[in-house]
Amino acid sequence: MITRKDFDTIVIIADNICYSKESVGIYSREPDRAQKSNVDSLIDSMKKIFNNVVLYNNPALFLEKATLHKNDIIFPYWHGEKSRNKQALVASICETYNMIYICIFRWIPVQHFR
């Protein structure tokens, strides 16, 4: 069984955006996305557990660097904007490259620790 101790590095893919409450309207999607303060807290917490924490602000950059992270654990926290399958994008990259990732979907069994 694979455990956290098998990994030195966690890779976080997150929106990491800043916005003000005043700029958010009733139809705004920005509150659904990961704010910088939340991402900073997540990184600080992960630094207590893992030796290395890597952050990518979008899936395109993660895709470019995916081969560098084949032995790392991936934490998808990217919500994107205006797409029905936006939360599945990082997971699909991980599946394509046979990477281990933390599954965020309730309807998929969390069994990716192979």
Q: Could you report the per-residue pLDDT of 60-101, keeping only the tens digit for each?
A: 999 999 999 999 999 987 776 666 666 678 888 999 999 998
Please give the model's pTM, rounded to 2 decimal places: 0.77
User: How much helix, strand and coil, in percent to the nearest 5, is found in the chain?
Assistant: 40, 20, 45
Q: Which helix (H) or strand (E) holds 101?
A: strand 100-101
Q: Could you report the per-residue pLDDT of 20-74, keeping only the tens digit for each?
A: 666 666 655 555 666 788 888 889 999 999 999 999 988 899 999 999 999 999 9
* Side chain identity at residue 75, one-letter code: F
| Best CA proximity match to 98, nearest among 64, 62, 69, 56 | 69
